[in-house]
Structure 1
Amino acid sequence: MKKLILLFILTLFGMSRVVAQDNNPSQTSDLKAYVDSLSTKLNTLQHDYDYLYCSHEINQIQSELKYLLNDVNIKSNAILINCYHGRYDSDLYSIYRSGYNSQVDLYDSFKENVELVQRVVRLRILSSNFTQNEINVLMNGCETLDRCLSALQSALDYCELVIGMYRDLK
C-alpha cells in the first residue's frame, strides 16, 4: 500500500513539473520554433521527393521504350537480311509474326503506362510547389515520352512491312 501511495505522489509531482514547463513562455516559443522548423524541413523533403519521383518515373519508362524500340529495329533488320537472301521458312515466318504481335502488345501496355505517368506528373505539378524550371523539365520529359511512343509506332509499322515482304517470298 505504501508503494502505491508513493507511486501516486511521484505521478502528481511529475505532472506538476510538466504543467510548470508548459507555463514557461520561453520554452513554449522555443518548442513552437522547433516545430515550425521541422514543418519547413518536411515540406522541403516532400517537394524533393515529388520531383525525384516524377523524374524517375519519366526516365524509367523512357529507357524501357528506347529498349523496345531498339529491339524492334534489330528484329526488323534481321528479317530484312533474310528477305535479301531470298530464304523463306514458314516456321520462321510464324516466329516473326508472333514476335511482332507480342511487341505490339508491349507497345499497347507502354502506351497505357505513359498515359498514367503523364497523369501522375500533372497531378504532382498541381499539388506540389514546383519551380517553373522544374515544371518545364517535367513537361519536356512528358513530351519526350510522346515522341518515344511515336518512334516506336513507326518502328512497328516498318517491322510489319518487312514481315509482309518476307511473307511475299513464298
Structure 2
Amino acid sequence: MRRVLIGGRMSLLALLQVCCVAAFALLLIAAGWQDLRTMRIANGLSLAVAASFILWAGAGLLLGSVTMSQIGWSAGCAIAVFAVGALAFAVGAIGGGDVKLLTVASLFAGPTRQFDFLAVTAIVGGLLGLAILAGAPIGPSARSQSHVGALRSGLPYGPAIAAGGLWVAASLLMA
C-alpha cells in the first residue's frame, strides 16, 4: 500500500486504508477464535471483512493507489475461490462459514497475493490437522472424541484462514 504524504503526514484516505487493513486483521482473529471454540463463523464477521475491503478499495481509488482493474481482478479471484470452496462444501470437505471467510479474505489478497494467502492457509490447516492427530485438544469436538474421531468430525479451519489473511494484511501494510 503506497502511503500518500501531505506535508510530511499521511493523508486521511491513506489512514483509512490502514484502518481497513487493521480491521481486516482483527476480524480474521475474531473469526479464527470463534471457529476454534464453536466450529462456526458468524456471517457478520465475513460481511464486515467485505465492508472493510469496499472501504479500503474506495479509499485506494480516490488516492490513485488502486485501480478499477485491480478491484475487478480481486473480485474475480474471490469468485474463483468461492466456486472451488462451494464444491468442497458440497462434498463435505469444508464448512460454509469457512468458504465465506476464504472468499472475502481473497478480496484483500487479490491476484498478487492469492497464492501466498492460499499457501499459508493450507500449511497452517495441515499443521492443525497434524496437531489434532497428535492429540492436541483443538476445537470443541476434540474434548469428547479420539484424535482421529475429532479430525473426522471437523477441523476448525478458521484459524488457518486467519493465518493466511494475516499474512496478506502484513504484506499490504509493508507495501
TM-score tier by shorter-chain length is 0.3 to 0.5
Higher relative helix content:
1
In our comparison, the structure showing a higher alpha carbon Rg is 1
Q: State TM-score, norm by structure 2.
A: 0.33
- Bigger relative contact order (CA 8 A; separation at least 6): 1
Q: State TM-score, norm by structure 1.
A: 0.34
